[in-house]
Structure 1
Amino acid sequence: MGFHTFPVERADALEDPSRYRYCSREELVAALALDGSETVADLGSGTGFYTDDVAPFAGSVYAVDVQSEMHDAYREKGVPANVQTVTAAVDDLPFGDGELDAAFSTMTHHEYASEAAFAELRRVLASGARLVTVDWSATGIGEDGPPTDERYALEDAAYALETAGFEVVAGSERPETYRLVASA
């Protein structure tokens, strides 16, 4: 599957509260299992829709996106004090070994999925750190999100993370998406 990004000219669509039908704030925060002191990265943060939801429950959050224009839209909206924007690809993160206590990806796994990205995530996540992935499922009907041939099945995403050295803690398939929780 080829690398692509969400169109910047459609950034306003990322602020649509109906996105919570695919992943609620409560589901995401619970899966991350934060105590309020952690350093967390939002992978493919876009305009910070889910970053803003996680920020009150973490010590500091990196909003990571490959498109600096998405950070511009986020800054326009207002970035919480404990959030720092980072322009980087997931396969080349500017963090030290084991620097992150948790990371999450909401509807962006299909945009960065590669052996290099998973190896990089394993490098920057501390031992025992959680990686929570919610993404469009290849088994979904495709009424929203990318075409089904650009998506991954839960089993394939889990296998790729296990191959990179993660332990899959939980996984669930839903009508259009899947949720995967892994530990570094």
Structure 2
Amino acid sequence: MGFHTFPVERASALDDPSRYRFCSREELLELLGPDPGATVADLGSGTGFYATDVAPFVGTLHAVDVQSAMHERFREHGVPANVEPVTANVASLPFADGDLDGAFSVNTHHEYATDEALAEIARVLRPGGRLVTVDWSADGTGDDGPPLDERFGSEAVVAQLEEAGFSVDDVRERPETVAVVARR
């Protein structure tokens, strides 16, 4: 991961429904556009807050987090039957080339946004596979989320994704976050 990982001792904050003000379940599903049989990954899944929301709309969901303690917290809540917790760094995903139909991350891009991680995401997504990135914006106020110096603005996120071989379909700037939809 990049600058930090979310502190496990604060994991209960990841289950706070007020997170939906930054990205609702409906918006995430609209951006991802999953097929009922799709195989997708939640990159930086934490306690499974968004993984649980997306799971009913896909065939298989890999909840990827670098911290096994986050998966333990997820298991305490109950992991949906079609969700597989995967302990891995985004720069080293345990999937074959083109295994995933889609991937998403909510408020974690700033933690893994390296050339290696983005190349790895491109490797595991099938051609045409969709990547949805919703993250804290460097153009935000900093009232919520990580410090501004740990964030990327929309132009930086777009440049990172394009350099990794993605084509960007949509960019949405909001007061505190940015949402980007890209395809491999």
- Tell me the TM-score normalised to structure 2 length: 0.99
* Structure 2 match to 1:79: 79
Q: Which runs of 5+ in 1 are unaligned?
A: none
* Structure 1 match to 2:94: 94
Whichever residue aligns with residue 16 of structure 2, its letter is D
Q: Distance in 2 between matches of 1:101 and 1:127?
A: 8
Cα deviation, 1:28-50, whole Å, max 9, x if unaligned, reads 00111112110000000000000
What's the CA shift for 1:3?
2.9
* Structure 2 match to 1:115: 115
Question: How many percent identity over aligned positions?
Answer: 65
* Structure 2 match to 1:166: 166
**Other structure's SS at 1:84 match:** strand
Whichever residue aligns with residue 6 of structure 2, its letter is F
What's the CA shift for 1:2?
4.5
Q: Distance in 2 between matches of 1:113 and 1:75?
A: 27
Whichever residue aligns with residue 92 of structure 2, its letter is D
Cα deviation, 1:65-86, whole Å, max 9, x if unaligned, reads 0000000000011000000000
User: How many residues are aligned here?
Assistant: 184
* Structure 2 match to 1:156: 156
What's the CA shift for 1:159?
0.5
* Structure 2 match to 1:40: 40
* Structure 2 match to 1:19: 19
Q: Distance in 2 between matches of 1:2 and 1:83?
A: 25
**Other structure's SS at 1:63 match:** strand
Q: Distance in 2 between matches of 1:52 and 1:11?
A: 16
Greater than 3 Å deviation, 4+ residue runs: none
Q: Distance in 2 between matches of 1:8 and 1:35?
A: 32
- Tell me the TM-score normalised to structure 1 length: 0.99
Q: Distance in 2 between matches of 1:133 and 1:53?
A: 16
Evaluate the alpha carbon distance shift between residue 82 and residue 2 of structure 1 in structure 2; reply closer, same or farther with a 3 A threshold.
closer
Q: Distance in 1 between matches of 2:161 and 2:2?
A: 19
Q: Which runs of 5+ in 2 are unaligned?
A: none
Q: Distance in 2 between matches of 1:176 and 1:105?
A: 16
